[in-house]
Amino acid sequence: MSDVKIHELRSDIDELQELLKQAKRKRVQDILSLEIRKLETEWIALKDKIRETPMEVAPSSSAGLKKRSQIKLSGYGWDQSDKYVKIFVTLKDVHTLPKEQVYCKLSEKSMELYINDLDNKDYRLVINNLLYPIIEADSHWKQKTDMVAIFLAKADTSIKWSHMTEIEKKFEDKRANRFKTEPEDIDKKDPQASIMSLMKNMYETGDDDMKRMISKAWYEGQHKKKSDTLDL
């Protein structure tokens, strides 16, 4: 309403100013000038009032939207063929989403899967440091019933992947080598020394149960030695 009144006042002022230009008699000019000043004062006061009045902010249309939950996925299955490493992510009703809401971002050694607005939730699966390089342009993904299948094109089709990532392979190799004794070490050391070395390694790398078991075995072994000595 105030905006309309300001507009009307401005129109009145402009019209009176046009009349003032056309007026020839001094008395008429004075009357018009007085009326113009009065309307300009009213126009300025109304503008200042509107400027000082806090504006009501209309509620944003997005304010009423519920924020979606962000879920980081960690579980997946995988398989491989000569050409592809295949990753399978199971999510109920994922096949009902439009294709633009299910997509991957790929690099030579990483894969990120995004599933947006599935039952008001956003899902993300990130796999970094792939075991071997892939070819992004030849890779693709498909939505299946309650599942997304990602096909990562191998850069070297002659290699069979033993693990999905470098970290998984290093961890598995470390576990495999933890209790491994080199053949040359067996030749150089007597059996008793090899057993002691193995027990020490197991104690240092084992969990609390393993440490308790080794401590008990060590104690019983030492106790038996003392008993055998006393019997002699």
Q: What is the pLDDT of residues 50-76, one digit of tens each?
A: 666 555 544 555 444 568 999 999 889
Distance separating alpha carbons of residues 135 and 59, to the nearest angstrom: 47
Measured distance between the N- and C-terminal CA atoms of the chain, rounded to whole angstroms:
116
Looking at residue 151, its pLDDT comes to 97
In this predicted structure, the answer to whether residue 209 has a pLDDT above a threshold of 70 is no
**Whether residue 115 is found in the same domain as residue 188:** no
Say yes or no: 12 and 42 in one domain.
yes
Query: For residue 99, what are the contacts with CB-CB under 8 A and spacing of at least 6?
Result: 143
Of the candidates 107, 110, 95, the one whose C-alpha atom is nearest the C-alpha of residue 142 is 95
Place of tokens 């300009």: 40
Determine the average pLDDT of the residues in 83-93.
96
Per-chain mean pLDDT for the chain: 80
Tell whether 42 and 73 lie within a shared domain.
no
In a domain, residue 135? The reply is yes
* Model confidence pLDDT, tens digit, residues 137-152: 999 999 999 999 999 9
**Does 121 lie in the same domain as 75?**
yes
pTM above 0.85, yes or no: no
Q: What percent of the chain has pLDDT over 70?
A: 71
Whether 219 is in a domain gets the answer yes
Domain count, the chain: 3
Does residue 110 have a pLDDT over 90? yes
- Of the pLDDT bands very low, low, confident and very high (cuts 50, 70, 90), residue 94 is very high
pLDDT of residue 112: 96
Residue 198 inside a domain? The answer is yes
**DSSP states of 77-107 as a string?**
EEEE-SSEEEEEEE-TTGGGS-GGGEEEEEE
Same domain, 119 and 195: no
Report the share of the chain in percent with pLDDT over 90: 41
**Residue predicted with more confidence, 159 or 181:** 159
> Rounded to an integer, what distance in angstroms lies between the CA atom of residue 224 and that of residue 232?
13
Residue 117 lies in a domain: yes
Does 174 have pLDDT greater than 90?
Answer: no
Look up the domain containing 196 and give its range. Answer: 179-225
Q: Are strands 77-80 and 84-90 parallel, antiparallel or unpaired?
A: antiparallel
Residue 180 has pLDDT above 70, yes or no: no
